[in-house]
Amino acid sequence: MAETTIHQQLKALYSEDESGQEVRMDGYRIDAVVGDCLIEIQCAGLSAIRPKIKNLVKTRDVLVVKPLCEKKMLLKRKRKGGKIVSKRRSPKSESYYDIFDELVHFTSVFPHPRLTLEILLTEQEEVRLPPLRKSWRRRPRVEDRRLVSVTGRLTLRDNRDLLKMLPDELPKPFNTSDLAEAAEIPRWLAQKMTYCLRHSGAIKQVGKNRNTILYERAKIRGRRKTASKAA
């Protein structure tokens, strides 16, 4: 699959030196290398790079950059390379909480002392083509995605950072319905969030109310580990 424009733009954002981009290292192609840190730009799902990152962090410091789309403009062409015939704003909007839809498949890798996740809220343009006539799904095809701007940035290094993502107004103890209401997210996403936080040790199960599991914030002991100390 051809590299999207947004992927190229983010590589340039993190590494202006083109010689530090698309580097072969440890049997992998690395998007960018800055100093001793390997940078992976992941516009697709995090699960796709799980084996790669799991191997790299054994000996390297790794930064995974994951863009989420807060605002999106949909641009339509009638054919590939043709002129734009319509524009409209997408009703969908992602927030930092949407990272848990993917992080739930990445808990075997994160947290790790050598791994940092950087979540970017972005404004994007998505160029679409009409669906193929032979396709039974009849969905528009995505020709390209472009970065318009970065509107926010969140860095996650360990369970302390995950813990900070819990809303302050949660009751004690809380359940996934409480979290969904406080964070203004669907309950299915709140369930994935609690799974990730519990797996990392950021929260703990403290009981049940009938069939509903109750959670509390965990007391995290010890100093924050850094990648350099883990070397």
Domain of residue 207, CATH code: 1.10.10
Mean pLDDT of 33-59: 96
Domain end (from 157, 190, 220): 157
Domain end (from 127, 157, 187): 157
Q: To the nearest 10°, report the CA torsion of 33, 71, 186, 119.
A: 20
Q: How confident is the model at residue 6 (pLDDT cuts 50, 70, 90)?
A: very high
**Do both 22 and 136 map to the same domain?**
yes
**Do both 132 and 223 map to the same domain?**
no
**Do both 133 and 55 map to the same domain?**
yes
Mean pLDDT of 40-52: 96
**Do both 10 and 109 map to the same domain?**
yes
**Do both 15 and 97 map to the same domain?**
yes
Q: How confident is the model at residue 228 (pLDDT cuts 50, 70, 90)?
A: very low
**Do both 88 and 186 map to the same domain?**
no
pLDDT of residue 139: 80
Domain end (from 140, 157, 174): 157
Mean pLDDT of 90-100: 97
Domain housing 59: 1-157
Per-residue pLDDT tens digits for 197-214: 999 999 999 999 989 999
**Do both 168 and 79 map to the same domain?**
no
- The lowest-confidence range among 39-43, 75-79, 137-141, 186-190 is 137-141
Q: How confident is the model at residue 230 (pLDDT cuts 50, 70, 90)?
A: very low
DSSP 173: S
Would you say 45 and 67 are in contact if contact means Cβ atoms under 8 Å apart? no
If one counts the domains in the chain, the total is 2
pTM: 0.89
**Do both 5 and 91 map to the same domain?**
yes
Alpha-carbon distance of 99 to 118, in angstroms, equals 10
**Do both 179 and 208 map to the same domain?**
yes
